[in-house]
Amino acid sequence: MEKYYLTTPLYYVNSKPHIGHAYTEIAADTLARYHRIAGREVLFLTGTDEHGQKVAKAAADAGLAPGEFTDKISGTFKDLWRALDISYDDFIRTTEPRHIAAVRAVWQKLEKAGEVYKAVYSGWYCTPCETFWTEGQVLPEGGRTLCPDCKRPIERLEEENYFFKISGHRQWLIDEIRRAENFRILPDTRRNEVLGFLEHNALQDLCISRPKSRMPWGIPSPLSDSHVTYVWFDALINYISAVGFGADEKKLARWWPADAHLIGKDILRHHAVYWTILLRALGLKLPRLIFAHGWWVQGGEKMSKSRGNVIDPVEIAKTYGVDAFRYFLLRETAFGQDGVFSEEAFILRYNTDLANDLGNLLHRTLTMCEKYFDGSVPAGVSSRCAGELKEGVDLLESKLSRSLEKLAFSDALAEIWALVGQANKFIESSAPWTLAREKKTGELKVVIVSLAEAIKAVAQALWPFMPSTAEGIWRQLGIAEPVAKASFKKNLWGYFEKGGQVAKGAPLFPRIETKREGLR
Ligand code: MSP
């Protein structure tokens, strides 16, 4: 069976998750579900990044020991993923023994290959970004020195550390990125950004440790009792530690390279430059794809806990439903671009796309099944007299796979909604109520069967995005879930040749009339 290994970043456990984190996770879940029903064996990895100065500080502020604190916050991520129907296969915590062992194995392998050395690090460090900055990169402002990325004050470090030799890796990486065969960076804007960085900057060797005396909350380096691993160096290794690096060669060979690393655009360089170079130094293949998505912004700024402009995904999902939330995040903006989350925009999409277009299509169709055919999809309509919706149904799966190959979630949803729109128009143009009045039962049957086939196809295509909505539709159409999933890749049309019994339920998406108090 073909495999598909996809990963999300490991989220820092300095505070509870917001919609920025939920975004990567929902996108990854959609992709994982899609590849599963397309017949692949999927490994969907997520987890939490638990070491480093930022987490240590958050634990101290909360008055807890780091381990106690990270257990608690890591648990809130797991709870949220459960609530959002995230079907991850593995959740890795960087404090787990399997990960620690892999990080230590990486240190040892690099040392043996002569790739690490000790020297004095003299430069800047941004704790919120957990990033080292050189003198030339930082922003001096009014007597303070700010991080060039997050614009917050940073501290000066002068300490003995270990370095990983990366300066000689520039040219092959540029060539690989340009070639874009086995290793792609998407969207193109991000690929160009990485190329620009590599072409205009000399690569500086990467500092990969911190002195234990200053920052004890990290994985001890096997090369020195007085150093721990720099948090980014520790965290990136998760993508191979979870698949057995240093412990299970067979597992590693099965899953590596990753098919897709989903990340936000703020952590592109760590992945596209440092991670790829580390892989090469370890003699491992590069991932097939790094996709850097955009940010959810509020008031022109990236949504983040420290800026105090976050929206709580739990609240949104509780108020409007998990699937509506999943739909909005993936439909509203193209995956590579920034998006603005507002409750007005959310309600508009909910009422228009979900309540009106999709909800009404199902409701009207099932009402006609009840009214004209005793609650059934009538039998005896050959799939050969298919009606005008068949072409849209037949093409849906290939359109979906073309869009999802590029992680164009919004386009994929637009394709599905094009069929929903076509089916709604078909009801108007075929006027089944007139056919019923004029007792044209044969024609009426074709109309109802066509609609049932189209809705079934819509639900199948929708399942990766909105699993419980799709399952609800199948239930109302009287289709068993395993049957619907199994037939995803086959010709979608023809299921109702023998008819079927429907079970109309409550509307999927009751209209929202008023905005809830308190949300932006
Ligand atoms: N721990 C590192 C990643 C290590 S991966 C080996 C980290 N963690 S994070 O919690 O700060 O961010 C995790 C992911 O959430 C990143 O991909 C980041 O881009 C994403 N988001 C955080 N805020 C976001 C928005 N406001 N909008 C969209 N995604 C953003 O970085």
Cα 321 to Cα 355: distance, rounded to the nearest angstrom? 12
By the 8 A CB rule, do 149 and 137 touch?
A: no
Cα of 21 vs centre of ligand 1, distance in Å, is 6
- Of 345-349, 358-362, 473-477, 486-490, the least confident: 486-490
By the 8 A CB rule, do 314 and 321 touch?
A: no
pLDDT band at 353 (very low <50, low <70, confident <90, very high): very high
Cα of 484 vs centre of ligand 1, distance in Å, is 35
Closest CA to 280 of 133, 175, 130: 175
pLDDT band at 58 (very low <50, low <70, confident <90, very high): very high
pLDDT band at 520 (very low <50, low <70, confident <90, very high): very low
pLDDT of 384 reads: 67
By the 8 A CB rule, do 368 and 448 touch?
A: yes
Give all strands (DSSP E) within 94-142, no chain letters: 116-126, 131-133, 139-141
Mean pLDDT across 218-223? 98
By the 8 A CB rule, do 400 and 415 touch?
A: yes
Looking from the CA of residue 12, the nearest atom of ligand 1 is: 10
By the 8 A CB rule, do 383 and 493 touch?
A: yes
Cα of 93 vs centre of ligand 1, distance in Å, is 15
For a substitution probing ligand 1, which of 24, 239, 333 has the most ligand atoms within 8 Å of its CB? Answer: 24
Cα 401 to Cα 86: distance, rounded to the nearest angstrom? 21
Cα 393 to Cα 423: distance, rounded to the nearest angstrom? 10
Cα of 388 vs centre of ligand 1, distance in Å, is 45
Cα of 9 vs centre of ligand 1, distance in Å, is 7
By the 8 A CB rule, do 34 and 406 touch?
A: no
In whole angstroms, how far apart are CA 191 and each of 60, 187, 232? 39, 7, 21
Share of the chain above pLDDT 70, in %: 97
Six-digit token string for 73: 């916050």
- Of 101-105, 343-347, 417-421, the least confident: 343-347
Give the CA dihedral 26, 32, 38, 43, nearest 10 degrees: -170
Ligand 1: which residues within 6 Å by Cβ?
A: 9-12, 20-21, 23-24, 49, 235-236, 238, 263-264, 266-267, 295-296, 302-304
- Residue nearest atom 26 of ligand 1, based on CA coordinates: 303
Helix (H) or strand (E) holding 293: strand 289-293
Distance of CA 439 to the CA centre of its chain: 51
pLDDT band at 325 (very low <50, low <70, confident <90, very high): very high
For a substitution probing ligand 1, which of 46, 263, 267, 270 has the most ligand atoms within 8 Å of its CB? Answer: 267
- Of 134-143, 191-200, 239-248, 304-313, the least confident: 304-313
Give the CA dihedral 279, 24, 147, 139, nearest 10 degrees: 100
Cα of 324 vs centre of ligand 1, distance in Å, is 22
Radius of gyration of the chain (CA): 26
Beta strands 339-340; 376-377: pairing state = unpaired
Cα 291 to Cα 191: distance, rounded to the nearest angstrom? 9
The mean predicted confidence, pLDDT, of the chain is 94
| Residue 198 pLDDT exceeds 60 | yes
Cα 311 to Cα 305: distance, rounded to the nearest angstrom? 9
pLDDT of 491 reads: 54
By the 8 A CB rule, do 98 and 247 touch?
A: yes
Residues 6+ away with beta carbon under 8 Å from 52: 12, 130, 215, 217, 218, 231, 234
Beta strands 144-146; 131-133: pairing state = unpaired
Cα 336 to Cα 185: distance, rounded to the nearest angstrom? 11
Angle ∠(311,315,316) on CA atoms, nearest 5: 75
By the 8 A CB rule, do 68 and 498 touch?
A: no
What DSSP character marks residue 184?
E
Six-digit token string for 448: 């109802």
Cα 374 to Cα 501: distance, rounded to the nearest angstrom? 9
- Structural domains in the chain? 342-501 (1.10.730.10)
Helix (H) or strand (E) holding 10: strand 3-12
Cα 81 to Cα 100: distance, rounded to the nearest angstrom? 24
